[in-house]
Every structure is written in C-alpha cells, then in structure tokens.
Structure 1
Amino acid sequence: MKQIVDFIPLLLFFVVYKLEPRTFELADLNVTVGGIFNATAALIISSVVVYAALFIHQRRLTKSQWLTLAACLLFGGLTLALHSEAILKWKAPVLNWLFALAFTGSHFIGEKPLIQRVMGHAVQLQPAQWTKLNVAWILFFLICGFANLFVAFVYPSIWVDFKIFGSLGLTLLFMAGQAVYLARHMQPEPEES
C-alpha cells in the first residue's frame, strides 16, 4: 500500500500535464491549468501533502521517501523558479543514481548490503546471494537513470509518458525478475521440533 501512495504525486503530475492548458478567471485572477509548470506545482504540493500524511500516520518516513521529497522540492522548485523544464527532467536520473550510489556504498559501509538491510527480515539468503541481488539493484537504478535521461532529452515529446509508464514497466519487470531469483534461492524455514 505504501508504494501505491508514493505514486499519487506522480499520477497527479501526469494528469495535470496532459490537460490542455486553459486559463480561467477566478476571483479576479487569471489561473492557468495544464502543462509542465502547473504539473510541476501539482507534483510539489501533492508530494508535500502525501509525505506529510504518511509522516503523521507512521510517525516517520523512510530514507528513500525523504530523498524523493527533497529531490521533488529541489528540482521542482528550481523548475518553477527558473521556468525551465530541463531541470525537472534531471530529477529522475539523479534520484536513480543516488539510489545506485547508496546501494554501492553499502558494500563498503556497514556489515550488510543495503538490499539485505531492507529485505533481510522477510527473506533469508546466503551472503553471496545478497551481494548479487544488491548489484542487480545498482544496475537497475543506473539503467533507469540513463533511460530517463535519454528519453527526456532525445524524445522529449514522450518523456512524461515514459516517466510514468516506462519507468513503472521497468520496475515491474525488474521486480518480477527479482521474485524469480528469490524463489530459486530462498532457504526453507527450519522445522521446529
């Protein structure tokens, strides 16, 4: 459920972006709805609301949620302040590469790879298998970052569609592959006597 909630700001961004830009008069103000900059504002506002609600409900946010919120505020805020959509296009690649860096750093800092710290309570694997799984996550985040960057600047007309559906598709494919890998390597629970 938590992962679905994390996608709410992205979905709102997509909906507002796809709206044909229109200007309405509201209380003697001209308000424009639709397009990249309104979508960016919707992304920022909905991210703050969603993560604030999660924080109130759970009394905490995960490190990845803090990082996602910070990246959204930084890149979204700069996009609006400088009126440049190129800044927002760097958000997904940079965020993916930061996650790759965190997974890489976990090989050198601490006793366990990051994926083992995240999933170790639910899955039991041999140390070599945790290392392979962690490397797979590093590669996944690197590939996602480069794919987002490539599409954003080479095919800008489909960038938002790729950001929503392409990234989601890549994630689902990776998760399916991970599930197959985990199913093959999971150790059975020891029987109690």
Structure 2
Amino acid sequence: MATLLEYLPLILFFAVYKLVDIYWATGVLIASSIIQLAYHYFHSGKIATRHWVFFAIALVLGGMTILFQDEHFIMWKATVIYALLSLSLLVSRYFFNKNLVETALLGLLKSVNEKEQGKNAELDISLPKSVCEQLNIMWMLLLAFISVLNLYVAYNFSLDTWVNFKVFGLMGITFGAILVTMARIYKYLPDDN
C-alpha cells in the first residue's frame, strides 16, 4: 500500500494526461500530492522532508504550468528533483562527511529486519566503507545524469514521448540502479536475510 501511495501522483498524472491533457494532469498531480501529504500525516503523525520538497516543487512548477499554460514548467520538475538529490549526496558527503546512501541502506535493512524478526531484533550488518563510497558516487552521478537526460528528452522529443519517458523511462532507470545497488551489497547481508 505504501509503495502504491508513493507512485500515486505519477500514476494519476499519466492517466489524466492520456485521457485529457497536460494541464489537467498537472492539476491532478498537485491534488494527489496534497492527498499523499495528508495520508502520511494521519498515518504516522509526521511528513518526511522529502515529501514536503517534492510537493513544493510540484506546486510551484505545476502552478506555473497551469497559470501560464506552458508545459515546459512541469517538464522541469524531474530535473529539479533529481538535481537536488544529486546535490544532496554531494554536499552531505564532501561537506558534512555523511554518506546518505549508506544511511539509507542501513535504515532500509534495519526496517526489513524489524518486520521479519520483531521490533527488538538486532541487525548484525556492516557494509564496507569503500562499497558505500562507490554506491554514493554511483547514485550522485546517476541522479545528475537523469536530471540532464530529462531536459534532453523534454526539449528534443514530443510531449507524449516525454510523458512516457518520465513515467516509464525514469522508473526503469531507477529500478535498474536499485538492482545494481542490491547486487553490490548482497554478499554483505546476513545469511538468514
């Protein structure tokens, strides 16, 4: 259910675009992002910073798309988000000496372990720093590449092609990167996981 909710704005954006047009789709993207925020608030009592950031970007660029009737503003949304993510990895690692990819991976593994073993289960896992560094660089470069690729597709192909790329291409690239990440850390996972 949580995974579906994460992708709900994107799914609705795609469906409404195919049924109506980009401006209605953008309005639905903003509205479904509000619903997503409300769900997170009522479900867990808080809203993660990333949800606020994604919503703010959707609201500003989506609002400009609707106000000025210019789809180029919404086309910039993915570029801004992926560029900010890439920049976050860069700044946190080289200015604050914190590897966000390592933090996210260990948090995810801990969460999976708690669901399988119970709340008080200890997670006996450590990832080599060199592997975490490689993965941080991989994700930083990949996110920067995606931000540029989104603009390339937006300005060199039709609106239909860009929407399909945004929904299926970006999701495919991200899924592929997740598979590479999992393959890279697999041998460091405990045998029972």
* Bucket of the pairwise TM-score, normalised by the shorter protein: 0.7 to 0.9
Q: How far apart are 1:145 and its partner, in Å?
A: 1.0
Task: Please give the alpha-carbon distance, in whole angstroms, between the structure 2 residues aligned to 1:4 and 1:103.
Answer: 26
Aligned residue pairs: how many?
174
Which among 134, 149, 152 is matched to residue 150 of structure 1? 152
| Larger deviation, residues 130-139 vs 1-10 | 1-10
Which among 170, 180, 183 is matched to residue 180 of structure 1? 183
Aligned partner letter, 2:29: L
Task: Please give the alpha-carbon distance, in whole angstroms, between the structure 1 residues aligned to 2:100 and 2:129.
Answer: 12
Task: Please give the alpha-carbon distance, in whole angstroms, between the structure 2 residues aligned to 1:81 and 1:155.
Answer: 23
The reply on whether 1:56 has 2:58 as its aligned counterpart is no
The reply on whether 1:87 has 2:73 as its aligned counterpart is yes
Q: How far apart are 1:136 and its partner, in Å?
A: 1.0
Query: Displaced runs of 4+ in structure 1, greater than 6 A?
Result: none
Superposed CA deviations along residues 10-64 of structure 1, whole A, max 9, x for unmatched, are: 1101111001xxxxxxxxxxxxxx1010111111111101121112211122222
Structure 1: segments with no counterpart, 5+ residues: 20-33
Q: How far apart are 1:108 and its partner, in Å?
A: 2.5
Q: How far apart are 1:139 and its partner, in Å?
A: 1.3
Please give the secondary structure, in 2, of the residue aligned with 1:124.
coil
Question: Comparing both structures, which one devotes a greater share of its residues to helix?
Answer: 2
The reply on whether 1:138 has 2:140 as its aligned counterpart is yes
Work out which of the two has the higher radius of gyration on C-alpha atoms and give 1 or 2.
1
Q: How far apart are 1:120 and its partner, in Å?
A: 2.3
Identity %: 30
Task: Please give the alpha-carbon distance, in whole angstroms, between the structure 1 residues aligned to 2:176 and 2:139.
Answer: 12
Q: How far apart are 1:107 and its partner, in Å?
A: 1.1
Q: How far apart are 1:131 and its partner, in Å?
A: 1.2
Normalised TM-score (structure 1): 0.84
Q: How far apart are 1:187 and its partner, in Å?
A: 5.6
Task: Please give the alpha-carbon distance, in whole angstroms, between the structure 1 residues aligned to 2:43 and 2:145.
Answer: 34
Task: Please give the alpha-carbon distance, in whole angstroms, between the structure 1 residues aligned to 2:98 and 2:126.
Answer: 13
| Larger deviation, residues 108-117 vs 50-59 | 108-117
Equivalent residues in 2 for 1:1-193 (5 A)?
A: 1-19=1-19, 34-121=20-107, 122=109, 124-156=126-158, 157-184=160-187, 186=188, 188=190
Aligned partner letter, 2:140: I
Task: Please give the alpha-carbon distance, in whole angstroms, between the structure 2 residues aligned to 1:114 and 1:39.
Answer: 33
Aligned partner letter, 2:34: V
- Decide whether aligned partners of structure 1 residues 113 and 93 sit closer, same or farther in structure 2, where only a CA change above 3 A counts: same
Please give the secondary structure, in 1, of the residue aligned with 2:94.
coil
Root mean square deviation, CA, Å = 1.6
